[in-house]
Every structure is written in structure tokens, then in C-alpha cells.
Amino acid sequence: MKFSVLVEWLPKIRACNFIIKTADCSQDSSVTIKTSNVLINVPAMGCLEFRFSSTGVTLVPDSLSGLFNNNNSIIFRARIDDFNGSIQKNGPTQSVNYKINEDTVVFCAACKHQVSKTLRMSRALPLPTNGEMDFFCHQHSGHKLSSLNPGLTDIFYDHLYFLIHTDHLLQGSDAAKFECFNCSTTLGKIEKKAVKIWNSDAFIQNSVYDPHKCVPRYHQFLSGLFNLTEDVPAQMNKFVFICDGDRANETYTRMWVLDRSLMLSECESDSREVDLNCKIVKKVLYSHHAELSSEVDDFIKSPTALSISLSPSGQEILLKVLSFMSRNIPVEFSIVNGMKVSYLMFDDDINWDDL
């Protein structure tokens, strides 16, 4: 019988939380805590053993507490005796690698059609995470920018988008939206002489499309999102993602980062013996809003919050990933302060496009 297990390891407070979900639990199920394994006796399934020696964690024997048991889940906490491992963040090192002094072009991520002329950039400059208007030239540092337009050989980039000059577009447009002329996917928006292109909807590659070098859309977006949450100060733990469509139809996703370096073990199995490995994730609360509600407004006004624009596809990816990562949390424990519990993870082993 198939079951899922989710374990939050919390070495700093000497505790860990176990969640086991299966279709046939029983009030008579029992839990035994040992130093390097946990035994759970489920009458309909027999004895399940969870081993975790690779995590570097040892538990205090018989330290079971907070046992919750119903027809489809067993939840409990145990005390950590020692932790000999190290918490190493496994996120991406850079969201996108922009080539300098090489011929490149922009492709639509949906249909893989070329949407720009050949680019040959001499400068690639990162934009600050907390807003474009904080970007300044050292020579004119006393002047506040009213707009930000890259030159013909410049590319300015953020974790979730990049800016190039509108003269590089393969087809000109008088509209505010920048769309793929082949499949009509919205790729960005045009602001004066700059076009803002989402890296969830387009990518830069050599002038001839090579599918083997193409970064999957989910991978590229999650890489940028993961780096974004790492790049801001620790006290900036709230995010409001604003879907950058028509202003009258803007939608909002709130995300509150509770733990930036949580050790998480998660697997689904039908074996009675399971070896648990762990990865570093971010534990978050999130909620989606179809309009500007009071909850969203309170987040936006919070001094520890950051408002981020997303494309419609970027919002779709974000919600799909957060929903997937919360699938093993029982309904009784899935809502906190009106927001859903989930995890944000960057993992090369998961093909998010297949979800």
C-alpha cells in the first residue's frame, strides 16, 4: 500500500516533525522512536521503518510527543539528540547567464520562435532587487532616474526579467505588450525605448536554436525566484507577486517566508523500509487573491514586504509549484492565518514541466 512521508528537521530547536499519509491508518497505530530510525506499526500495513542516518540527525529514544492520528494520517514530533551534518544551501548560483560580445537572439519559450534580431551586447548590468529606480550611474549619482532605458549594446537584468532596447525587436509594436508574433504569447511589455521580457516566457540563446541548450521554463523561473528570495535582507520575509496583466484585472499572490533554510525529507513509497534523505527548502505560507483585498494591501504596506511583478505564466508556475509542494500536508494542518503551508525548493532532479 502506497504512503507518503514528510519530515521537517529543526536542529536549532532540537525537534523534528513527522507526517505520514496513507489511505488506511488506524487509531490503533503505534510509534516507536529510536536513535537512528522510527518504527510505525499500522495494523492494515504492518511495521513501517524510516531510517535517516544520512541526514546526520540522531533522536532521543522514546521522545514521542504531539501524536495526532486519524483515518489517513499520523503526525507526531520527536526530540533531536544530536546533529552532525551541515546545512548547505543547494540553490542555483545565477538565474541567467548573459553572453557578452557574442551573437545571441531571444526565443519565445512557448513555441521556440525567434522574436528578436541578433543581439551583440557589450554590457550586462544587474538591476537592484528592490526596484529599478534605485539603479544609478556613479557619474550622475545625485540625479534620481525617472526611467531606465538600456542602450543598443546593453542588457539590464533582474532575477525574473531582462531589459533590452526596443530596436532589437524583430517586429515593431505600438502596443504596451510585447507578444510573440507566431503564437501570440505575451512575453513582456514595452516601456518607451525599453522592452521588459520575462524569463519565464522567453530565453536568450545562440542565433541558431539548440533544444539541448534550452533551459526549461519552470527551471528558469524557479531559479530566478529562489535567487530573489536569497538576495533580499533576512528581515524582508514577505512578498506580494502581482500578475502583470491589465491593471483592471490584476491578481495577487502573497508569500510569507517562515524559514529560509529548512531541512526537509519527503518521499512517496510502497516499501515498508524507507531511507530518508533531506534537502534544504524554504517553508512558506501563501494565498492567491483575484483582487486587491485588505490582506493584500496590508502586505504591500508592510515594511518587511517586497512587491514583485510577474507575468501570467510566471504566476501560473508559482501557484502550481506551491500547490504541488503542499500535497503531503494534511488538511487539518495546511492552513495558518488564512494562508496555505508549502515549501519553495530548487531541485534539478524534478522536471516541473511534467507536473
Which pTM value belongs to this model? 0.85
In the block, cell 519553495 appears at: 344
Q: What is the pLDDT of residue 135?
A: 52
Q: Tell me the C-alpha distance between 183 and 113, whole Å.
A: 9
Q: What is the pLDDT of residue 110?
A: 86
Convert the pLDDT of each residue in 29-43 to its tens digit: 889 999 999 999 888
Q: By the 8 A CB rule, do 205 and 108 touch?
A: no
In the block, cell 534550452 appears at: 214
Q: What is the pLDDT of residue 132?
A: 45
- In the three-class reduction of DSSP (H, G, I as helix; E, B as strand; rest coil), residue 146 is classed as coil
Residues across the chain? 355
Q: How many CB atoms lie within 10 A of CB 263?
A: 21
First to last CA, the chain: 23
- DSSP states along 108-160: ETTT--B-B--B--SEEEEPPTT-GGG---GGGTTS--S-----TTEEEE-SS
Convert the pLDDT of each residue in 85-115 to its tens digit: 666 555 555 545 677 888 889 999 888 888 9
Low-confidence ranges of the chain (pLDDT < 70): 25-27, 85-97, 129-147, 172-174, 207-216, 245-248, 347-355
User: In which element (H, E) is residue 305 found?
Assistant: strand 305-310
Q: What is the pLDDT of residue 240?
A: 95
Q: What is the pLDDT of residue 351?
A: 63
Alpha helices in the chain (DSSP H): 217-231, 294-301, 312-325
Q: By the 8 A CB rule, do 264 and 9 touch?
A: yes
Burial code (b: 16+ CB inside 10 Å, e: under 16) for 146-158 equals eebebeeebbbbb
